[in-house]
């Protein structure tokens, strides 16, 4: 692996670079959303986008091939890639499409990137918490890292038992899928209203000091974030 060409793209909407992976199987490339919920199956807007923009799926395949080739021996290529960038790299997101933690190998791949770029905060919403083995690795290897903002992605199909388990394990929670559900179903506390989706502040994610990033900016404070539907 000599260069990274496709994996990261600048996203004006969130004000940072972000990676992508294919959500479903494309040709001989397996999709990454293996931990998806029933709600994902019913509502994923990316399926429609793939039909509308065929080149998006082709790019995601190229992204996948670059992603799976990153390892501890060549991870320096990631930092080298970003040294050439003029836009901010203080925060980068995994993934805007697809799942960062499809396999156990992905856990150590993400960890290697975070260790390689300790001055960058890596924002990672994930549904991999739904897999007990991957969740264990995330809680041991990823959650203690101060430059990773890890968020358990939840939705209306998440049960109260699952939600309570996440709270008890100290996860930051990101909820999407019901504009009227603004209170935590376990604690009864009002969720943190995402400024980007509730107030339509474009690019706010790059500077937000609460919500999804609370664990990396407020010394471990956990929050439950409410994302308003588009």
Residue 50 lies in a domain: yes
Rg (the chain; Cα; Å): 17
Task: Give per-residue pLDDT as tens, 33-56.
Answer: 999 999 998 899 888 888 898 888
In a domain, 122, yes or no: yes
In a domain, 148, yes or no: yes
Model-wide pTM > 0.85: yes
pLDDT, position 229: 87
CA-to-CA distance for 158 and 196, rounded, in angstroms? 23
* Domain contains 89: yes
Asked, for residue 34, whether it belongs to a domain, the answer is yes
- Domain membership of residue 175 as a residue range: 8-227
Q: Per the domain annotation, does 1 fall within a domain?
A: no
- Residue-by-residue DSSP string for 63-75: HHHHHTT--TTTT
Question: In Å, what is the CA distance from 176 to each residue of 70, 126, 157, 168?
Answer: 30, 12, 10, 20
In this structure, is residue 198 part of a structural domain? yes
Q: What's the number of domains the chain is made of?
A: 1
Domain presence at residue 3: no
- Distance from chain centroid for Cα 124: 3
pLDDT tens readout for residues 85-109: 999 999 999 999 999 999 999 999 9
pLDDT digits (tens, 9 = 90+) for 170-194: 999 999 999 999 999 999 999 999 9
Q: Which helix (H) or strand (E) holds 154?
A: strand 148-154
């Amino acid at each position: 692996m000599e260069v990274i060409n496709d994996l990261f793209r600048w996203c004006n909407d969130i004000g940072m670079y972000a990676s992508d992976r294919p959500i479903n199987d494309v040709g001989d490339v397996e999709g990454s959303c293996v931990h998806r919920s029933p709600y994902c199956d019913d509502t994923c807007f990316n399926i429609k986008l793939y039909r509308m923009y065929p080149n998006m799926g082709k790019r995601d395949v190229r992204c996948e091939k670059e992603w799976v080739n990153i390892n501890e021996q060549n991870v320096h290529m990631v930092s080298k890639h970003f040294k050439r960038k003029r836009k901010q790299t203080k925060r980068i997101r995994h993934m805007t499409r697809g799942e960062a933690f499809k396999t156990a190998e992905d856990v150590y791949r993400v960890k290697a990137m975070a260790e390689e770029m300790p001055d960058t905060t890596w924002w990672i919403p994930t549904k991999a918490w739904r897999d007990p083995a991957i969740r264990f690795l995330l809680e041991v290897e990823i959650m203690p890292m101060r430059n990773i903002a890890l968020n358990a992605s939840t939705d209306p199909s998440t049960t109260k038992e699952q939600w309570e388990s996440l709270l008890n394990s100290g996860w930051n929670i990101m909820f999407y899928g019901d504009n009227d559900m603004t209170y935590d179903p376990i604690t009864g506390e009002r969720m943190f209203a995402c400024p980007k989706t509730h107030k339509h502040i474009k690019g706010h994610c790059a500077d937000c000091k609460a919500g999804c990033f609370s664990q990396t900016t407020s010394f471990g404070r956990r929050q439950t974030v409410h994302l308003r539907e588009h």
